[in-house]
Amino acid sequence: MIECIFTIDYEIYGNGEGSLKELVYEPAERLRTIFRKWNARFVAFVEVAELEMIEAKCTDSAIDLIKCQIRDFHKEGFELGLHLHPWWYNARHKNGGWIPDYSEYNLCTLPMGRIVQIIDRSIAYLRRVLGLVNFMPLSYRAGHLLFQPTRTVANVLAERGVKIDSSVYKGGLWHHYHLDYRRALKNGYFWKFTDDVNEPDLQGILLEIPIHTQMVPTQKMFTTKRIGLQHKGSSTTQTGKKMLNRVKDFLRFRYPLKFDLCQMSLKELIGIVDEVFLEDQQNPTLFRPIVAIGHTKDLVDFETLKLFLSYLEKKRIPLSTFQSVYPRCIF
Ligand SMILES: [Zn+2]
């Protein structure tokens, strides 16, 4: 039994470049129209730190459109997840650009007090935007998918009422930030965890439904589409050490290809689904929610997306949300 959850990270470029209208509002609007036509819903992972800072410094007049769009999503049954780029909160705006505070890049490595402050602030902003004092997102996605070391952030999120994380991509390895999701390769389609997001724990306080990946020979990573999109949003601060670490990340025979709606070709998207479909035929009673990721800033190829949605329909694979699959994942 397969269901596909479409998640979209709702944000401008991580280094603060780009406009809200062009990189967030307009692509999200087109996506909403397509999903409405299919009578389906997606999960928008709203990166709240940048929105709060952009609003506070009045640096982008499209912020009101964005807030209105978020409210509309909520009203129309699109799911809102919490996404956090913590490097925004101490960012400074100077000479027309943003200077992010990269010392706060990985929320998980910050002191407990700072983690609490940032998470509470982000939820409070989302509540203000929605005008709902009790709103609590069901799901969370870490900035740059960094959810290690896990324990403190997992506890703070669970105490607030968040139930699901979707930051893991099985097989992921990123030396520079000490991210290692290779041990999650042995896990199923979802699992509970507390201390380490890689380690299933039956009594776990959060549920992980990872971004789906497929392990492929490393050279397959370098398609024209993927490289073009990555180049567009590349950060300008690549230090020598960071680059060397990135090279180390790719020195593997097989590499996890993320189920990415924006970066994959139609052939790759279909290949991912067909692989799960074959597994499912062996054991159709097992529940297989598969999470796809995308970014509003990368949403340019709507034709591929529409063809892929038709393919899912042909295969009778429903489009779902975390809200809808959650009751079937807890045990
Ligand atoms: Zn992000």
* C-alpha 306 – ligand 1 centre gap (Å): 24
Cβ atoms within 10 Å of 237's Cβ, excluding its own: 9
* C-alpha 142 – ligand 1 centre gap (Å): 7
pLDDT given for residue 236 in this prediction: 47
* C-alpha 13 – ligand 1 centre gap (Å): 8
d(CA 167, CA 183): 14
Query: How far is residue 269 from each of residues 116, 292, 311, measured CA to CA in Å?
Result: 38, 10, 10
* C-alpha 83 – ligand 1 centre gap (Å): 7
Asked whether residue 299 carries a pLDDT value surpassing 80, the answer given is yes
pTM (2 decimals)?
A: 0.92
Q: Span 77-100, mean pLDDT? A: 96
d(CA 253, CA 215): 10
Percent of the chain surpassing pLDDT 70? 89
* C-alpha 286 – ligand 1 centre gap (Å): 31
pLDDT given for residue 254 in this prediction: 83
Number of helices (H) and strands (E) in the chain: give both, helices first: 11, 15
The answer to which of 116-120, 130-134, 244-248, 307-311 has the lowest mean pLDDT is 244-248
The answer to which of 49-53, 105-109, 133-137, 224-228 has the lowest mean pLDDT is 224-228
Q: What angle do CA 276, 11, 311 make, to 5 degrees?
A: 30
Q: List Cβ neighbours of 136 (8 Å cut-off, separation of 6 or more).
A: 123, 160, 161, 162
* C-alpha 329 – ligand 1 centre gap (Å): 25
Q: What angle do CA 305, 264, 8 make, to 5 degrees?
A: 60
pLDDT digits (tens, 9 = 90+) for 252-284: 678 899 999 999 999 999 999 999 999 999 999
Asked whether residue 232 carries a pLDDT value surpassing 80, the answer given is no
Asked whether residue 251 carries a pLDDT value surpassing 60, the answer given is yes
* C-alpha 18 – ligand 1 centre gap (Å): 14
Q: Span 320-328, mean pLDDT? A: 96
Handedness of CA 215, 218, 222, 227 (dihedral sign): positive
* C-alpha 161 – ligand 1 centre gap (Å): 21
Structure tokens at 101: 């505070």
* C-alpha 95 – ligand 1 centre gap (Å): 24
Handedness of CA 84, 87, 90, 91 (dihedral sign): negative
pLDDT class of 222 with cuts at 50, 70, 90: low
Asked whether residue 285 carries a pLDDT value surpassing 60, the answer given is yes
* C-alpha 171 – ligand 1 centre gap (Å): 19
pLDDT given for residue 330 in this prediction: 84
Q: Span 197-206, mean pLDDT? A: 97
pLDDT averaged over every residue in the chain: 92
pLDDT given for residue 217 in this prediction: 84
* C-alpha 33 – ligand 1 centre gap (Å): 23
* C-alpha 195 – ligand 1 centre gap (Å): 23
Percent of the chain surpassing pLDDT 90? 85
Q: What angle do CA 168, 169, 175 make, to 5 degrees?
A: 90
pLDDT class of 146 with cuts at 50, 70, 90: very high
Asked whether residue 233 carries a pLDDT value surpassing 90, the answer given is no
* C-alpha 86 – ligand 1 centre gap (Å): 10
* C-alpha 47 – ligand 1 centre gap (Å): 6
* C-alpha 144 – ligand 1 centre gap (Å): 6
pLDDT class of 238 with cuts at 50, 70, 90: low
Strand bridging mode 139-142 / 79-84: parallel
Asked whether residue 234 carries a pLDDT value surpassing 60, the answer given is no
